[in-house]
Amino acid sequence: MKVYSCCGHDTVVKRIYCPSCGTPDLQELEVSDHGTIYSFTKIHVPPVEFAEIAPYNVVLVQLIDTTAKVTGRLMGEVSIGDSVELDRVEAGAYIYKKV
Ligand SMILES: [Zn+2]
């Protein structure tokens, strides 16, 4: 997956300008889809559009080889520190699976 880098900070969100120094020249880097669970929340009462898949986890994944973290969804049981990889992108959402 792609991350955008400047001033020692990486983010998966593409920005026009670096929020720190204001440069428009953010470096685009290709990094691994793998990461570890940094934090998560199990959603039991979801928004209407996700009612059919509840309960599910909203996970914050610390990606490998970058400072960037990405928010995604993961089904099943999960613990902080679990190794995960990107399974697919669904309607703009990052869907992770354990590895
Ligand atoms: Zn910068």
Sign, CA torsion 18/27/63/46: positive
Calpha distance 13→92 (Å, rounded) = 12
From ligand 1's centre to the CA of 27, what distance in Å? 10
From ligand 1's centre to the CA of 59, what distance in Å? 27
What pTM did the predictor assign? 0.90
Domain positions in the chain:
2-98
Read off the amino acid at residue 79. S
Per-residue pLDDT of 28-71, as tens digits, reads 999 999 999 999 999 999 999 999 999 999 999 999 989 999 99
- Reply yes or no on whether the pLDDT at 18 is more than 90: yes
DSSP 13: S
2-98 belongs to which CATH class? mainly beta
Closest to 35 (Cα-Cα) out of 3, 61, 1:
61
